[in-house]
Structure 1
Amino acid sequence: MKTISSTLPERGILTSAYKQEIRENISVSKRATLSKMKSIIENHHNKVQSQTGTILQVSLFAIALVLIVI
Protein backbone atom coordinates (compact mmCIF):
# COMPACT_ATOMS: atom_id res chain seq x y z
CA MET A 1 0.00 0.00 0.00
CA LYS A 2 1.48 3.32 -1.17
CA THR A 3 0.84 6.59 0.58
CA ILE A 4 -0.35 9.75 -1.16
CA SER A 5 0.94 11.92 1.60
CA SER A 6 2.37 10.99 4.93
CA THR A 7 -1.09 10.42 6.42
CA LEU A 8 -3.41 9.17 3.64
CA PRO A 9 -2.99 5.58 2.41
CA GLU A 10 -3.52 4.98 -1.32
CA ARG A 11 -5.95 2.14 -1.97
CA GLY A 12 -8.15 0.88 -4.76
CA ILE A 13 -7.89 -0.25 -8.35
CA LEU A 14 -7.26 3.15 -9.95
CA THR A 15 -3.86 3.66 -11.53
CA SER A 16 -1.48 6.15 -10.04
CA ALA A 17 -1.44 8.12 -13.32
CA TYR A 18 -5.22 8.51 -13.15
CA LYS A 19 -5.02 9.55 -9.50
CA GLN A 20 -2.35 12.12 -10.35
CA GLU A 21 -4.55 13.51 -13.14
CA ILE A 22 -7.47 13.83 -10.70
CA ARG A 23 -5.25 15.66 -8.18
CA GLU A 24 -4.10 18.08 -10.90
CA ASN A 25 -7.69 18.70 -12.06
CA ILE A 26 -8.75 19.47 -8.49
CA SER A 27 -5.84 21.86 -8.11
CA VAL A 28 -6.70 23.64 -11.37
CA SER A 29 -10.38 23.90 -10.46
CA LYS A 30 -9.50 25.42 -7.07
CA ARG A 31 -7.34 28.04 -8.80
CA ALA A 32 -10.12 28.79 -11.28
CA THR A 33 -12.61 29.18 -8.46
CA LEU A 34 -10.30 31.54 -6.61
CA SER A 35 -9.80 33.54 -9.80
CA LYS A 36 -13.56 33.82 -10.29
CA MET A 37 -14.07 34.97 -6.70
CA LYS A 38 -11.30 37.54 -7.05
CA SER A 39 -12.85 38.80 -10.28
CA ILE A 40 -16.29 39.10 -8.65
CA ILE A 41 -14.82 41.06 -5.73
CA GLU A 42 -12.90 43.39 -8.04
CA ASN A 43 -15.98 44.01 -10.21
CA HIS A 44 -18.07 44.77 -7.14
CA HIS A 45 -15.40 47.13 -5.83
CA ASN A 46 -15.26 48.99 -9.15
CA LYS A 47 -19.05 49.22 -9.25
CA VAL A 48 -19.18 50.69 -5.73
CA GLN A 49 -16.44 53.19 -6.60
CA SER A 50 -18.37 54.21 -9.71
CA GLN A 51 -21.58 54.71 -7.72
CA THR A 52 -19.73 56.73 -5.09
CA GLY A 53 -18.20 58.95 -7.77
CA THR A 54 -21.59 59.54 -9.34
CA ILE A 55 -23.14 60.46 -5.98
CA LEU A 56 -20.33 62.92 -5.29
CA GLN A 57 -20.70 64.54 -8.72
CA VAL A 58 -24.45 64.94 -8.34
CA SER A 59 -24.00 66.35 -4.82
CA LEU A 60 -21.46 68.90 -5.99
CA PHE A 61 -23.70 69.90 -8.88
CA ALA A 62 -26.64 70.35 -6.50
CA ILE A 63 -24.55 72.44 -4.11
CA ALA A 64 -23.26 74.61 -6.97
CA LEU A 65 -26.80 75.04 -8.27
CA VAL A 66 -28.04 76.09 -4.82
CA LEU A 67 -25.15 78.57 -4.46
CA ILE A 68 -25.86 80.08 -7.87
CA VAL A 69 -29.60 80.44 -7.15
CA ILE A 70 -29.03 82.07 -3.75
Structure 2
Amino acid sequence: MKAFTALTKKTNADLDAALAEAQLEIVKLNAQLSTGSAAKEAGKLRALKQKVARIKTIQNQRRNAKV
Protein backbone atom coordinates (compact mmCIF):
# COMPACT_ATOMS: atom_id res chain seq x y z
CA MET A 1 0.00 0.00 0.00
CA LYS A 2 2.92 2.35 0.53
CA ALA A 3 3.75 2.31 -3.16
CA PHE A 4 0.14 3.04 -4.08
CA THR A 5 -0.22 5.96 -1.68
CA ALA A 6 3.10 7.39 -2.83
CA LEU A 7 1.92 7.24 -6.43
CA THR A 8 -1.42 8.89 -5.65
CA LYS A 9 0.42 11.98 -4.44
CA LYS A 10 2.10 12.46 -7.83
CA THR A 11 0.71 14.73 -10.52
CA ASN A 12 -0.64 13.42 -13.80
CA ALA A 13 2.51 14.53 -15.62
CA ASP A 14 4.70 12.73 -13.10
CA LEU A 15 2.59 9.58 -13.47
CA ASP A 16 2.92 9.73 -17.26
CA ALA A 17 6.69 10.03 -16.95
CA ALA A 18 6.90 7.19 -14.43
CA LEU A 19 4.72 5.00 -16.65
CA ALA A 20 6.88 5.62 -19.71
CA GLU A 21 10.04 4.93 -17.72
CA ALA A 22 8.68 1.69 -16.25
CA GLN A 23 7.46 0.45 -19.63
CA LEU A 24 10.83 1.20 -21.22
CA GLU A 25 12.58 -0.68 -18.43
CA ILE A 26 10.24 -3.66 -18.95
CA VAL A 27 11.14 -3.75 -22.64
CA LYS A 28 14.85 -3.65 -21.85
CA LEU A 29 14.52 -6.35 -19.21
CA ASN A 30 12.49 -8.59 -21.53
CA ALA A 31 15.20 -8.26 -24.16
CA GLN A 32 17.87 -9.20 -21.64
CA LEU A 33 15.87 -12.16 -20.37
CA SER A 34 15.23 -13.45 -23.88
CA THR A 35 18.95 -13.48 -24.60
CA GLY A 36 19.64 -15.12 -21.25
CA SER A 37 21.98 -12.44 -19.95
CA ALA A 38 19.97 -11.16 -16.97
CA ALA A 39 18.89 -14.17 -14.95
CA LYS A 40 19.45 -12.30 -11.68
CA GLU A 41 16.90 -9.60 -12.53
CA ALA A 42 13.98 -11.90 -13.31
CA GLY A 43 12.13 -10.87 -10.14
CA LYS A 44 12.38 -7.23 -11.07
CA LEU A 45 10.08 -7.80 -14.05
CA ARG A 46 7.14 -8.68 -11.80
CA ALA A 47 7.67 -5.58 -9.66
CA LEU A 48 7.79 -3.37 -12.74
CA LYS A 49 4.58 -4.86 -14.11
CA GLN A 50 2.87 -4.24 -10.78
CA LYS A 51 4.09 -0.64 -10.81
CA VAL A 52 2.66 -0.13 -14.30
CA ALA A 53 -0.66 -1.59 -13.16
CA ARG A 54 -0.76 0.71 -10.13
CA ILE A 55 -0.04 3.78 -12.26
CA LYS A 56 -2.71 2.86 -14.80
CA THR A 57 -5.21 2.24 -12.00
CA ILE A 58 -4.59 5.69 -10.55
CA GLN A 59 -4.87 7.31 -13.98
CA ASN A 60 -8.19 5.55 -14.64
CA GLN A 61 -9.54 6.52 -11.23
CA ARG A 62 -8.70 10.16 -11.88
CA ARG A 63 -10.16 10.02 -15.39
CA ASN A 64 -13.40 8.45 -14.15
CA ALA A 65 -13.69 10.90 -11.26
CA LYS A 66 -13.83 13.80 -13.73
CA VAL A 67 -16.75 12.30 -15.66
Q: What is the TM-score of this pair, normalised by structure 1?
A: 0.42
* Bigger Rg, which one: 1
Q: What is the TM-score of this pair, normalised by structure 2?
A: 0.44
Q: Which has the higher contact order (CA 8 A, sep 6+)?
A: 2
